[in-house]
Amino acid sequence: MAKRNDPLLTAKESFASLLTAALSDMGVDGVARDTEINLAEATHGDLAYPAHRLAKTAGQNPAAYATLLAEACQKRISTEPQTYTPIHTVQATGPYLNAELERLLFAEQVTAAALTKNFGREVKAKKKYLLEYVSPNTNKPLHLGHLRNAALGWSIGELFKASGIEVVRAQVVNDRGIHIMQSLLAYERWGKDETPESADLKSDHLVGKYYVRFSNELKENPMLADEAQEYLTRWEEGDKKMHALWKMLNEWATTGHQTTYQRFGVSFDRTDFESDIFENGKALVTEALEKGLVKKRDDGAVIMEFKDQGMEDKVLLRANGTSVYITQDLALAKKRIEEEHPDVMCYVVAEEQHYQFQVLFTILERLGIATKEQLVHLSYNLVVLPEGRMKSREGTVVDADALLDELANLAEQELTTRQSELSAKEKKRRAEIIANAAVKFYLLNVRPKVTIQFDPKASIAFTGKTGPYLLYTIARIKTILRKAETTELKAKVLDPTEKEWQVVRELARLPAVVSIATQTTDPSVVAEYAYDLARALTAFYETDRVLTAEPSVRNWRLRLLSTSIATLTSTLSLLGITTLDEM
């Protein structure tokens, strides 16, 4: 991977080079690696290197060895000070070697780098990833679980792009199958030609209403399950009346989903429909049967055997000839590979589907469609209600639209308290941005594998570790810059105060943060960094005077604030969060 515009990495490499040279001076054939160097705690210099590995090789006590190595480093610095810039001093603290940086030089390097367009990013695409996320069913509106998926998918896509990967954002609309038929059956039986307009309901909510109705009616009449299966058979046989009703309900669902996507700020480069590919899936399985890659059971079902792997055999075609979900998953993977030629296909899907993806990836490999190295399941855990996990068929789901409405209303109330003179239109615009920031940060601030219990009021707070707090930090600094009437981007850098230095240190971390978050596909690393930077900025501008400082200090601090705002705004964009100039 090509190096980013990264002063911190340069400093780590200089420290590693210094340590290696010092080892040579000690008569030791050893190498210090920059990957072993981390930012030190603020009270222990700036960079920290653990001496344990080198001490073990030398057969010495780590603390004693660190002291000897620190002395050798200082001798090197005294004789070749320019060779190891920006390393200023090295001292031992227990088994660690701590380096202090030349603060003025490093501050100049960081504030200059942070203003470049691609700070913390790769420029040239080296690989192409197809990234699938959300992929809803057309039998219900989007819920909070979909929002977590959408937030993760969008942010991971931004991280891939920041790391020089070409990204194709994709979804497959699951617009056929038994669950779709359940909504269709309920609407045909109890809908009485109801429309979104006559019901005064968002179109996908009307479809969802009948999915819940089916579930409730099924408890009283179990035979409805067989009727829904008959509907699916008729649909696959091309029943014209069935297709007309199906098309109408699907259009209602997808139109409603698209409205929610736009509101939440996510989009896709390609959308595939399950109904367009399920026949291809059946043909693919039939071809595999002819080649002896799959087997037909006595009851007529076509299966892939997994006994040799200690797993259950997987049905690919039912005995009645209808396909199952994995059938079209196979066809879709083949279609995407042929059309997009991705190096990797990533699926952002909940952890509960882990086994299903194990099966899918194994079948794709056995059929020669893809290798396992090309296939990645980016799993995440669920979002739960206070009383447990969400179940949309029981109507106890946290609806995405209702949640965004609630948060926007709470934000609007706060804005009315703070700025009562704002027009209703402007309050609504800001409230929408704040609500989106609240949801996205709350969902992305937690590692993907951790279950989230969503608390709307906590997420919308303007203080604490929240999206609105980050927006407020940016708006507060922009107010300072407006009052100054200049950004002083080329102002002379001064020797930083302690609060300024902490901001510089945080700024320098961005490239490493992006790299780690991308490698781990974990946007929470970015969210944590954004909060740390915002806290450092708040501590700085609340302690060190800016507008009333003497001119040279004022100008330097304006430069630091301007640089920091650019970095924090860029960081939040990786989370899909839009910022505000005023709050």
Share of the chain above pLDDT 70, in %: 97
Mean pLDDT throughout 356-382?
96
Q: What is the pLDDT of residue 396?
A: 59
pLDDT digits (tens, 9 = 90+) for 41-71: 888 899 999 999 999 999 999 999 999 999 9
Share of the chain above pLDDT 90, in %: 88
Residue 3 has pLDDT above 90, yes or no: no
Residue 4 has pLDDT above 60, yes or no: no
Residue 523 has pLDDT above 60, yes or no: yes
Tell me the average pLDDT of the chain. Answer: 94
H-assigned helices in 485-523: 498-508, 510-520
pLDDT digits (tens, 9 = 90+) for 177-220: 899 999 999 999 999 999 999 999 999 999 999 999 999 999 99
Task: For the domain made up of 7-101, give the CATH fold.
Answer: Gyrase A; domain 2 (3.30.1360)
Q: How many CA atoms lie within 13 A of 520 on its CB side?
A: 14
Mean pLDDT throughout 244-255?
98
Which residues 6+ apart lie within 8 Å of 313 measured at CB? Answer: 303, 304, 305, 306, 307
Residue 391 has pLDDT above 80, yes or no: no
Residue 450 has pLDDT above 90, yes or no: yes
pLDDT digits (tens, 9 = 90+) for 395-419: 557 899 999 999 999 999 999 999 8
Sign of CA dihedral 450, 453, 459, 463: negative
Closest CA to 97 of 89, 106, 86: 89
Q: State how far the Cα of 440 lies from the Cα of 264, in Å rounded to an integer.
A: 9
Q: What is the pLDDT of residue 443?
A: 97
pTM of the full structure: 0.93
Judge whether 326 and 360 are in contact, CB under 8 Å: yes
Relative to beta strand 47-50, strand 96-101 is antiparallel
- pLDDT band of 81, cuts 50, 70, 90: confident
Mean pLDDT throughout 219-248?
95
Which residues 6+ apart lie within 8 Å of 538 measured at CB? Answer: 473
Relative to beta strand 344-350, strand 127-132 is parallel
Q: What is the pLDDT of residue 5?
A: 85
Q: What is the pLDDT of residue 322?
A: 78
Q: What is the pLDDT of residue 308?
A: 81
Judge whether 435 and 442 are in contact, CB under 8 Å: no
Please indicate whether residue 567 or residue 278 has the higher confidence score (pLDDT).
567
Relative to beta strand 383-385, strand 375-380 is unpaired
Q: State how far the Cα of 154 lies from the Cα of 132, in Å rounded to an integer.
A: 10
- pLDDT band of 388, cuts 50, 70, 90: low
CATH architecture of 133-394: 3-Layer(aba) Sandwich (3.40)
**Rounded to an integer, what is the distance from CA 143 to the centroid of its chain?**
18
Q: In the chain, what's the furthest Cα-to-Cα distance? A: 90
Letter for the amino acid at 280? N
Closest CA to 407 of 472, 469, 468: 468
- For residue 174, the 8-state DSSP code is B
Gyration radius from the chain CA atoms: 29
Mean pLDDT throughout 336-362?
97
pLDDT digits (tens, 9 = 90+) for 138-180: 999 999 999 999 999 999 999 999 999 999 999 999 999 899 9
Q: State how far the Cα of 21 lies from the Cα of 23, in Å rounded to an integer.
A: 5
Residue 460 has pLDDT above 50, yes or no: yes
Q: State how far the Cα of 325 lies from the Cα of 275, in Å rounded to an integer.
A: 11
| CATH number for the domain formed by residue range(s) 400-573 | 1.10.730.10
Q: What share of the chain is helix, strand, coil (3-state, %, to 5)?
A: 60, 10, 30
Q: For every residue of 120-149, which 3-state class applies, written as one string?
A: CCCCCCCEEEEEECCCCECCCCCEHHHHHH
DSSP 237-270: TT-HHHHHHHHHHHHHHHHHHHHHHHHHT---SE
Q: What is the pLDDT of residue 2?
A: 41
Residue ranges per domain, the chain?
Answer: 7-101, 133-394, 400-573
As given in the structure block, the two tokens for residue 451 are: 């279950």
Judge whether 493 and 102 are in contact, CB under 8 Å: no
